[in-house]
Amino acid sequence: MPVLVRPAETGDVPHILAMVNRFADQNIMLPRTVESVSHTLPDWLVAVEEWPEPTTPPILACGALVPLTDTLAEVRSLAVHESQQGQGLGGVIVLELVQRARIRNYEQVCALTLRENFFVRLGFSVVDRWSISSKVWQACIYCRKFHRCDEVAVLMNLAEKPATTENAVARPGWSHLLKWSEWQPLKLAYKQPTMVDDR
């Protein structure tokens, strides 16, 4: 079955939403809206069968590369249709998104995932989620799972690391986007228990 990975088009939006939100209903990923996908459509890739059969899903897999800063982008909403899982399509989408990040001159690509080993096999490293500080500020604080998050942060460095002196302190994956004093209060807030309405 020849598969084509291409930029998402307007006609793909309902199919992206259906697949992503189906997994969101299983608490595997965050839900998306028509507005959020349509607004970021240039950031999305989809995998489709080149010569689809009547029974073939409209899209086989999808994922987005979302800019967080000038140097950091996030792989988001990676989903593979249930009938296509185990075929390697997820890895194909991620590596295509990483290539996009290289072309756009990003220095790092991150993701929050429940399957960190999948990303590690593709060249990512597990990091402290607080090292991806811009991600926390831009999205996580609005998530219902913020105070009980079970996702793992992974990061891939695309730029060559500068040479460090013998006495330098290396912080793998550290994103020097916010100073300690700026994100530390948010980290402390994260640790405070709050009431969550699960109704």
pLDDT category, 171, cuts 50, 70, 90?
Answer: very low
DSSP conformation class of 47? E
Judged by phi (left if over 0) then psi (alpha if -120 to 50, else beta), residue 126 lies in beta
Q: Is residue 32 part of a domain?
A: yes
Say whether pLDDT at 129 is over 80.
no
CATH number at residue 125: 3.40.630.30
| Number of domains the chain is built from | 1
Confidence of residue 195 (pLDDT cuts 50, 70, 90): very low
Whether 149 maps to a domain, the answer reads yes
pLDDT bracket for residue 114 (50, 70, 90):
confident
CB distance 107 to 72 below 8 Å: yes
Domain region containing 116: 3-162+171-191
H or E stretch covering 116? helix 116-121
Q: In this structure, is residue 196 part of a structural domain?
A: no
Of residues 104, 27, 99, the one with CA closest to residue 68:
104
Rounded Cα distance between 61 and 80, Å, is 4
Residue 148 lies in a domain: yes
Name the residue type at position 17.
L
pLDDT of residue 196: 40
pLDDT of res. 106:
95
pLDDT in tens, 70-94: 999 999 999 999 989 888 999 999 9
What's the count of helices (H) and strands (E) in the chain, helices before strands?
6, 7
* Assigned domain for 197 exists: no
Has residue 151 been placed in a domain? yes
Residue 12 lies in a domain: yes
28, 50 contact by CB (below 8 A): no
> Is 26 a member of any domain?
yes
Q: What is the pLDDT of residues 44-66, one digit of tens each?
A: 999 999 877 777 789 999 999 99
pLDDT in tens, 25-43: 888 888 899 999 999 999 9
